[in-house]
Structure 1
Amino acid sequence: MSRVGRVTRRGMRQTARGRVERALGVLHDDLWTWRPDPLPPSVWLRWFPHGIVCLAALGVLLGDAAQLGENGGVDPGFAFVIALAQAGAMVLALWRPVAAWWLSMAGMLVGAFAVRAEMVAGGDKFTWPWTAAGLIAHLFVLLLLALRVRTRVSLEALALTALTTYLVQGVVGASNFEPTGMLAVILFTVAVVLGTALRGRREARSELAQQTSLTAEERARRTLLEERSRIARELHDVVAHHMSVISIQAQVAPLLVENPPDELKENLAGIRQNALEALTELRRVLGVLRSEHPDVLEESDGGDPLPHAPQPTLDRLDALVENTRAAGLTVTTQASGTRRPLPPGVELSAYRIVQEALSNVLRHAPGATARVHLTHLPIGLRVEVSNTRPKRAPAPSQGAGHGLLGMRERVAMLDGSLTAHALPGGGYQVAAFLPADAAGPAVAADPAGTDDLSAHHIPEDDTR
């Protein structure tokens, strides 16, 4: 044989040896373990499956001890130990399925060889190597194993079980025994296939629930970002107006003073320049926020887009209420306290809260009547929108929108408070307090502890 041929054969043997070593390593990692993997309680039956396994284990203990001791000729004490191992494997499989499989296999082997040593000379037919009780016990063990471990591990355990059964029955053998190997392997295969299918179904349902949760979180996050973007677009118009006034005043101020000093002109020019730069930055940011709808800055009270319309204030509240009444909702308004000048952001937020609350009543409480109450306080404005019990069921919601989420964002921005809860008579109330001296955006949770949108009975919905 040439040198090249010897080298090639040596390389093939090394490759085959490496594959065998890797396969044995995988088997060792999968099956030589004591790790716990408890069977969780059933969704509907709770601990009922665990009780069934324990009762079956008691039956296996009594049946296997009697069959090995009385029919198999094994010493009663030794037969009880073997039966205890088989029954104990069933209970152990509820917590440590791989270790239980080893215990069940050991019980089968010890019992099979003990019976063969006692009955090989003759006697009645005896089921071998699997007794009836031992076969039932191993069925439970393989089923619980397939429910808890990966499919590969289940198939490995099934293959080793079939191989061991073949070696004991086919190689060792006993002529006067009734073989049960073929029946056992078929039943074990059915148990593994069933357990694997149930495990796959459970994992699919778990993944579906997880994906549904992630989808809901992503939808809520996207809704939050959309609402913050909308608020930013609205506040830009308010801030831009004031910055424009500052720029014009700084430009006109030197003309109102006779012979103004150069220092005053320089300072006013600096103020005007800073105002213009601030306006430029605001327009740049707004261009990003409005990239999807560059021509739409505001919507009318009826929901139609109005390009370049001014942001609404409480002066337009009557028009909003009239439009809502025209849509079929009975609305009453009430105001108390002395009205004082409020920052534009506060008036805009109050208007939007009323708009969104009334829209939620239209969508989710058909046939109800609504009441809007504005309370002007020295320190701010309190807005209350309540409705009576709906007279008919609402139409199905089309998913998460902006209603309560938008209210929460506006109130948090002004460092105010918001409550939204059901009323005793079946109605609902949204109440917000907006401080008049709000310093600006605030990163704060809802002070009233009601910012958990999942607890509101009015779904988040788009109110535009």
Structure 2
Amino acid sequence: MTETGTRRADWTGRPLRWLRILRDDLCTARPDPLPPSVWLRWLPHGVLCLAAFGITVGGIAQLRNNGHLGLGLAFVLGLAQGAAVVLAMWRPVPAWWVSVGAMLVGAVALRGRLGETPENLFTWPWPVAGIFAQLLVLLLLALRVRVRAAVEALAVTVLVTWLLDGVWGAPPHQSTSVITVVLATIVVALGTALRGRREARAELGRQASLTEEERARRTVLEERSRIARELHDVVAHHMSVISIQAQVAPHLVENPPDELRENLEGIRHNALEALTELRRVLGVLRSENPDEDASDASGTGPHSPQPTLDRLDALVENTRAAGLTVTARINGERRPMQSGVELSAYRIVQEALSNVLRHAPGASAHVEIEYIPYGLLVSVANSRPTRPAPPSPGAGHGLLGMRERAAMLGGSLTAAPRADGGYRVFAELPAAAPGTGLVPRHPAAPASGTDRAPDPKDDHV
């Protein structure tokens, strides 16, 4: 096919394509209910029903008295105009067809009666009640359909009005064509603008929700990366010790056999390889969080030794220096715990005290650590704040990070308000990591002495 033939076929097919689009947009009966309002949920529906009743009564009276139509036809046309407004609250496109159809039937029926009373010219082709009905229907349609469909409905309305009044014509009458077209255009523009504003607000709400979800996801990933980095540091320390011990062990035995030397050399080699891999992982984690590379005075930087419960007193003193009244107590027989357990306990206390400083001004805090046979219990409680808390710039995911730490060790963490208006964070950290085969005693089991898990509802302040 030549280029000229292609262009001719394209121009020939365009009207058919436009007709298909027009059919898809306006030849539909799909429901599109008017949503309830925010403040008074059904007020718009009530107002529209009252307007529909007024249009029906006014339309029947106008068609009967001024148009001199029979009571039956006037009643049907007036009822159709009012019913179109009510129908538009649920199915705007069929309601628009009902309104236009009622206008066409009424215009044809009134055309032969125009001019019978020259002193009282009748409004034609749109009666006054029909104008109000069409404007309300177009407004409801523009609020809930696509802009293209609303413009198409307006174009068909203008075309039908022009064909009746401009082409077909009628005896002397009071023309309502211009005022109907102008008002219909204004109404469609207003409805389209309101619909665009509503869609923009809905999209903004969706974007805000997605942003909040992304922020929460990023916070979880950052906290897990931090936890993984700290625990890898602990494992790296132990691997270094294993490597050194494997290197020194042959010198502690007089004339060690070759098999022992080979086994120890293999242990040392595997430990060094594991240590190299751990350091590589740590390098990746630190490169993704460059802002955390600088060490601070408290020694929480990534290159500083990871804190344990031995530094709990220093943490409490630093918190007191910040203006918070803190008391601390350690119950049970103190014993060394796994590095990950002590690190997580320290971080939970640190985060809980930070939350008290930020969110409970004027309150006092009490820290309690209890050593029990199967692990460690951590409790941080604060009293009722004495003044409102200032706005906090934080992301609001401190509790999420603490729960991640406890869950990673196979423990649990609860945080809830107290009856006296304060708040309490309670963590249970097992001494053995998950998968080691050591089953901790359930905290609800009976115990005595220091083997008692404190109830989260107890008041230790």
TM-score by length of 2: 0.89
Q: Does residue 272 in structure 1 map to residue 268 in structure 2?
A: yes
Question: In the superposition, relative to structure 1, how do residues 269 and 216 fare at CA in structure 2: closer, same or farther (>3 Å)?
Answer: same
Q: How far is 1:207 from its partner?
A: 1.0
1:138-174 CA distance string (max 9 Å, x none): 1110000010011111111111101111111122222
Question: Partner residue of 1:232?
Answer: 228
| Aligned 8 A contact 1:227 1:402 in 2 | no
Partner of 2:208: 212
Pick aligned residue for 2:194 from 181, 191, 198 = 198
Aligned length: 436
Query: 1:416-455, aligned counterparts within 5 Å?
Result: 416-439=411-434
Report the CA distance shift for 1:155/1:234 in structure 2 as closer, same or farther (over 3 A): same
Counterparts of residues 387-402 of structure 1 (less than 5 Å): 387-400=382-395, 402=397
Distance 1:85 1:293, change over 3 A: closer
Matched, 1:261 2:257: yes
Structure 1 residues 172 and 303: alpha-carbon distance in aligned structure 2, compared to 1, 3 A threshold: farther
1:152 equivalent in structure 2: 148
Deviation, 1:205, is 0.8
Deviations 1:173-217 (A, max 9, x none): 222321111111111111111111111111111111111111111
Partners in 2 of 1:306 and 1:121 — Cα distance?
97
In the alignment, which residue of structure 2 is the partner of 1:338?
A: 333
Q: Residues 400 and 101 (structure 1 numbering): CA distance in 2 closer, same or farther, change over 3 Å?
A: same
1:170 aligns with 2:162: no
Q: CA deviation at 1:296?
A: 6.4
2:247 counterpart residue number:
251
> In the aligned structure 2, how far is the partner of 1:377 from the partner of 1:56?
75
Tell whether the 8 Å contact from 1:233 to 1:297 is kept in structure 2 after alignment. Answer: no
The percent of aligned pairs where both chains have the same amino acid is 66
Q: Is the counterpart of residue 316 in structure 1 residue 311 in structure 2?
A: yes
Query: Structure 1 stretch 139-148 or stretch 71-80: which is displaced more?
Result: 71-80
Measure the CA separation in 2 of the matches of 1:336 and 1:361. 23
> What's the CA shift for 1:232?
1.4
SS in 2 for 1:338: coil
Q: State the partner residue of 1:462.
A: none
Deviation at 1:265, TM superposition (A): 2.5
Contact 1:287 1:294 in 2 (8 A): no
CA root-mean-square deviation: 2.4
Q: Post-superposition shift, 1:248?
A: 1.8
Asked if 1:74 corresponds to 2:69, the answer is yes
Q: Which amino acid aligns with 1:438?
A: A
Alpha-carbon spacing, 1:134–1:174, altered in 2? closer, same or farther (3 Å)? same
Distance 1:407 1:235 in 2: 15
- CA–CA distance in structure 2, aligned partners of residues 245 and 404 of structure 1: 34
Structure 1 residues 44 and 293 mapped into 2: Cα distance closer, same or farther (>3 Å)?
A: closer
1:291 aligns with 2:287: yes
The code of the aligned residue for 1:288 comes to V
Task: Kindly indicate whether residue 383 of structure 2 is the aligned counterpart of residue 374 of structure 1.
Answer: no
1:53 corresponds in structure 2 to 48
Aligned partners of 1:319, 1:298: CA distance in 2, in Å? 20
Give distance in 1, aligned partners of 2:371 and 2:59.
Answer: 85
Whole-angstrom distance in 2 between the partners of 1:98 and 1:382 = 66
Q: In structure 2, how many angstroms separate the alpha carbons of the residues matched to 1:32 and 1:101?
A: 11
Is 1:409 aligned with 2:404? yes
Q: Per-residue deviation at 1:288?
A: 0.5
Tell me the SS of whatever aligns to 2:425: strand
Q: Which residue of 2 aligns with 1:137?
A: 133
Do 2:299 and 2:305's aligned partners in 1 also have CA atoms closer than 8 Å? Answer: no
Contact 1:296–1:308 (Cα < 8 Å) also in 2: no
TM-score, with structure 1 as normaliser: 0.88
Which range is displaced more, 185-194 or 311-320? 185-194
36-45 or 305-314, which moves further after superposition? 305-314
**1:189 pairs with 2:185:** yes
What is the CA-CA distance between 1:292 and the residue it aligns to? 4.9
Residue of 83, 86, 89 corresponding to 1:91: 86
Structure 2 runs not aligned, ≥5 long: 437-442, 444-461
**Contact 1:297 1:309 (C-alpha < 8 Å) held by counterparts:** no
SS at match of 1:291: helix
Deviation at 1:262, TM superposition (A): 2.9
> Structure 1 CA distance, aligned partners of 2:241 and 2:230?
18
**Amino acid corresponding to residue 362 of structure 1 in structure 2:** L
Mark the runs of 5 or more structure 1 residues left unpaired by the alignment: 442-447, 449-464
1:104 shift after superposition: 0.8
Deviation at 1:298, TM superposition (A): 7.6
Q: Does 1:364 align with 2:359?
A: yes
SS in 2 for 1:335: strand
For the 8 Å contact 1:329–1:362, the answer to whether it is kept is: yes
- Deviation per residue, 1:345-393 (Å, 9 max, x gap): 0000000000011011111112111111112221111111111122222
Aligned AA (1:175): P
Do structure 1's residue 128 and structure 2's residue 124 form an aligned pair?
Answer: yes
Q: Which has the higher mean CA deviation after the structures are superposed, 111-120 or 275-284?
A: 111-120
Cα deviation digits, residues 85-142 of structure 1 (max 9, x gap) = 2111111111111111111110110111112234465564211111111111111100
* Pick aligned residue for 2:20 from 16, 19, 25: 25
Looking at structure 1, the residues matched to 163 and 53 of structure 2 have their Cα atoms a distance apart, in angstroms, of: 29
Q: What is residue 460 of structure 1 aligned with on the other side?
A: none
User: C-alpha distance in 2, partners of 1:420/1:20?
Assistant: 67
Contact map agreement 1:386 1:428 (CA 8 A) in 2? yes
Distance in 1 between residues matched to 2:19 and 2:48, nearest whole Å: 32
CA separation in 2, counterparts of 1:94 and 1:343? Answer: 67
Secondary structure of 2:380's counterpart equals strand
User: Is it true that 1:41 corresponds to 2:36 in the alignment?
Assistant: yes
SS of the counterpart of 1:411? helix
- Please give the alpha-carbon distance, in whole angstroms, between the structure 1 residues aligned to 2:270 and 2:107: 95
